[in-house]
Copies of this chain bind each other. A is one copy, B any other.
Amino acid sequence: MKVINYPKKEDWQEILKRPALNTDSLNDTVLGILNRVKSEGDQAVLEYEATFDKVQLGNLAVTPEELREAEALVSEELKAAILLAKENIDTFHRAQVFTGKKVETRPGVVCWQKAVGIEKVGLYVPGGTAPLFSTVLMLAVPARIAGCKEIVLCTPPNREGKVHPAILFAASQAGVSKIFKAGGVQAIAAMAYGTESVPKVYKIFGPGNQYVTAAKQLVSLRDVAIDMPAGPSEVEVLADASANPAFVAADLLSQAEHGVDSQAILITTSPALIEKVVEEVEQQLARLPRKEIASKSLENSKLILVNNLDEAIEMTNDYAPEHLILETEDYMAVAERISNAGSVFLGSLTPESAGDYASGTNHTLPTNGYAKAYSGVSLDSFIRKITFQEISREGIQTIGPAIEIMAANEQLDAHKNAVTVRLNTLKS
């Protein structure tokens, strides 16, 4: 960890810089896979599964029998935890349901928005050692609330051709329609273009490695929408002297264990806190199973001492962290002044882990400074708001002449004429 004391403002940009993300060099490889799946469908996906996931699959779909097997394999304790998390995510996202109200902008001119679920969505859940069943909940629960009719999930199987039972259990509980054994670029391609087994979807969600990220970017240029651009996960703790150093250390470490490119930053007004956090990190790190990843990631970690809370808040908004933990005395007043962040954790008893799993908020959030322009995933991500307008006789007579003038001035006479033919009918 690097301690930086009272940096000058002109150095902030350099200090807060993320490692450059560039997937351009992967594009040729990724495009090759995308195109083969597009033209050859299931056969290509099966072959890529053999190559990359070292597994010979008979077919891609997870069967009802496999779902039943999985249910028996998940411990009761984990099932209960998954259901608790699912309920909280459901409660929070259900409160986001949008009900459009009719607005009469002029007498007889009524406009409104209506939320409609995206009919077909695709969820990608990475494989690897850690089965991310929490991500299944974070994506499938809001998709179901939104009314998405087809919720497709792709996740890579292990070498025995099986998907982790906790992923299957979470998917069944959350209402996923179809689950396929496919990972990486071939999974993104299957959902973007459709194959004999995998339905083509309209929007793809979910995390992934750099190949998956590159694939999502490439298909998003023409074929399908995606949730948001991706980058390594990151946390910022903004703390004053009142913060508990053990909690701060634990929060920094919980980010650091994600991967060697994860970002963990402390911005504080307290020199004493920095000292104690450094000690605590050392002690806690020694006890972590993933200490190698975490200690490698901590090399990029920064503990930044600033002059006052104003400066801490300004620096935070410059950085625009994915996760922001506020451990200050008056954290609500600080929260009011946060304009750029994905998800904010308030006070000493609200660790990032809570939002990662079970508070009910979504854990799919904008990284890499994208919080300046993007929201995290929410119910909004699974709907579209279609606008409607209904104009009466009185309405078109009120706004029609203005439309005619504007259209004529934009030299769009047919636009004008569409009003004129109507106004003429009403005159007669």
Binds B, one of A1-9, A39-47, A171-179, A242-250: A242-250
Question: Contacts A415-B353, A419-B351: A373 and B290 contacting too (C-beta < 8 A)?
Answer: no
Q: Are B111 and A372 in contact (CB under 8 A)?
A: no
From B105, B290, B356, B378, A88 is in contact (CB under 8 Å) with B105
Q: Are B341 and A386 in contact (CB under 8 A)?
A: yes
Q: In the complex, what distance in Å separates the CA atom of A287 from the CA atom of B250?
A: 74
The answer, yes or no, to whether A72 is at the interface (CB within 8 Å) is: no
The answer, yes or no, to whether A412 is at the interface (CB within 8 Å) is: yes
Q: In the complex, what distance in Å separates the CA atom of A392 from the CA atom of B251?
A: 17
Which chain B residue shows the least CB distance to A217? Answer: B221
Q: Are B118 and A417 in contact (CB under 8 A)?
A: no
Interface of A is mostly: mixed
Residues of B within 8 A of A88 (CB): 105-106, 109, 399
Residues of B within 8 A of A349 (CB): 391-393, 395-396, 422, 426
Residues of B within 8 A of A393 (CB): 349
- Copies per assembly: 2
Residues of B within 8 A of A347 (CB): 390-391
| Contact-residue bracket for chain A | 35 or more
Q: In the complex, what distance in Å separates the CA atom of A105 from the CA atom of B362?
A: 13
Q: In the complex, what distance in Å separates the CA atom of A418 from the CA atom of B287?
A: 13
Q: Mark A389-408, 1 if CB is under 8 A from B, else 0.
A: 11111011001011101110
Looking at the assembled complex, report how far the CB atom of A91 sits from the nearest CB atom of chain B, in whole angstroms.
5
From B250, B290, B359, B419, A354 is in contact (CB under 8 Å) with B419
Looking at the assembled complex, report how far the CB atom of A234 sits from the nearest CB atom of chain B, in whole angstroms.
15
Q: Are A116 and B406 in contact (CB under 8 A)?
A: no
The answer, yes or no, to whether A352 is at the interface (CB within 8 Å) is: yes
Q: Are B357 and A247 in contact (CB under 8 A)?
A: no
The answer, yes or no, to whether A232 is at the interface (CB within 8 Å) is: no
Question: Contacts A339-B119, A353-B403: A389 and B345 contacting too (C-beta < 8 A)?
Answer: yes
Residues of B within 8 A of A422 (CB): 247, 348-349, 351
The answer, yes or no, to whether A159 is at the interface (CB within 8 Å) is: no
Q: In the complex, what distance in Å separates the CA atom of A87 from the CA atom of B84?
A: 47
A264-320 CB contacts (< 8 Å) to partner B: 284, 287-290, 294
Q: Are A78 and B403 in contact (CB under 8 A)?
A: no
Binds B, one of A48-56, A62-70, A124-132, A183-191: A124-132
Looking at the assembled complex, report how far the CB atom of A212 sits from the nearest CB atom of chain B, in whole angstroms.
15
The answer, yes or no, to whether A81 is at the interface (CB within 8 Å) is: yes
Residues of B within 8 A of A407 (CB): 353, 356-357
Residues of B within 8 A of A355 (CB): 387, 389
Looking at the assembled complex, report how far the CB atom of A259 sits from the nearest CB atom of chain B, in whole angstroms.
11
Q: Are B373 and A257 in contact (CB under 8 A)?
A: no
A80-125 CB contacts (< 8 Å) to partner B: 80-82, 84-85, 87-88, 91-92, 95-96, 101, 103, 105-106, 109, 111, 113, 116, 118-119
The answer, yes or no, to whether A261 is at the interface (CB within 8 Å) is: no
Question: Contacts A109-B360, A385-B378: A340 and B399 contacting too (C-beta < 8 A)?
Answer: no
The answer, yes or no, to whether A421 is at the interface (CB within 8 Å) is: yes
Residues of B within 8 A of A28 (CB): none
From B81, B130, B387, B410, A132 is in contact (CB under 8 Å) with B410
Question: Contacts A290-B411, A406-B85: A421 and B105 contacting too (C-beta < 8 A)?
Answer: no
Apart from A251-B418, A254-B415, A356-B415, what 5 extra A-B contacts exist at CB < 8 Å?
Answer: A81-B403, A132-B410, A247-B418, A353-B403, A354-B403
